[in-house]
């Protein structure tokens, strides 16, 4: 592109920028003059169901790694904890279940126990489950609720593996959570 082509391109870009600036000035002057829209339109909206899941900053995937405890210090199992926050808007009387499954195969058996906060509609724990590739219930009877968004809001997820079965340098596991 020659020098004149660049100049034409810059001139077009400058004209666009000037048009945007003029539009913004118009909006600001209308707002400053106190003009308000004279018509109000109500828009009815119905939400049949909404689900939001957040597991320690990720959406539905949780990365879990374990440090092998020193058996001499009495560490019988290695434990890793995470929290899952969730918001549900459900039709009246309906409930959902939170399930967990391994995202990849594990070279060692891992159990998961969910401990809900105990607040209304935030679910009941299924107790300790052995994770596998198949989705398994972790929390049941979840109703319309919002657990919060802070790091320790929601249900605490306790992952555990027997120290004797944890290989040295074990790679982190991926656990996938979902509403059923």
CA distance 16 to 33: 26
In a domain, 29, yes or no: no
Number of structural domains found in the chain: 1
In a domain, 43, yes or no: no
In a domain, 166, yes or no: yes
In a domain, 131, yes or no: yes
Determine the pLDDT at residue 105.
80
In a domain, 61, yes or no: yes
Determine the pLDDT at residue 173.
86
In a domain, 77, yes or no: yes
In a domain, 20, yes or no: no
Per-residue tens of pLDDT for the chain, all 180 residues: 555 555 555 555 555 655 555 554 455 454 555 556 667 778 887 777 787 877 755 567 777 877 765 444 555 788 888 889 898 888 888 999 999 999 888 778 899 999 998 889 889 999 999 999 999 999 999 999 988 888 888 899 999 888 788 887 778 888 999 888
21: tokens are 């600036």
Range of the domain at 156: 50-179
In a domain, 120, yes or no: yes
């Amino acid at each position: 592109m020659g020098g004149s082509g660049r100049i034409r391109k810059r001139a077009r870009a400058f004209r666009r920028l000037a048009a945007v600036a003029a539009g913004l000035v118009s909006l600001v002057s209308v707002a400053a003059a106190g003009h308000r829209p004279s018509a109000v339109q109500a828009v009815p909206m119905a939400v049949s169901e909404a689900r939001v899941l957040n597991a320690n900053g990720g959406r539905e995937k949780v990365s879990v790694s374990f440090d092998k405890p020193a058996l001499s210090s009495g560490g019988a199992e290695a434990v890793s904890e995470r929290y899952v926050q969730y918001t549900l808007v459900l039709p009246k009387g309906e409930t959902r279940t939170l399930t967990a499954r391994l995202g990849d195969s594990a070279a060692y058996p891992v159990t998961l126990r969910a401990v809900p906060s105990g607040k209304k509609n935030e679910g009941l724990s299924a107790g300790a489950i052995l994770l596998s590739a198949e989705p398994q219930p972790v929390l049941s009877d979840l109703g319309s609720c919002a657990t919060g968004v802070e790091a320790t809001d929601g249900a605490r997820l306790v992952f555990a593996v027997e120290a004797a079965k944890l290989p040295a340098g074990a790679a982190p596991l991926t656990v996938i959570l979902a509403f059923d």
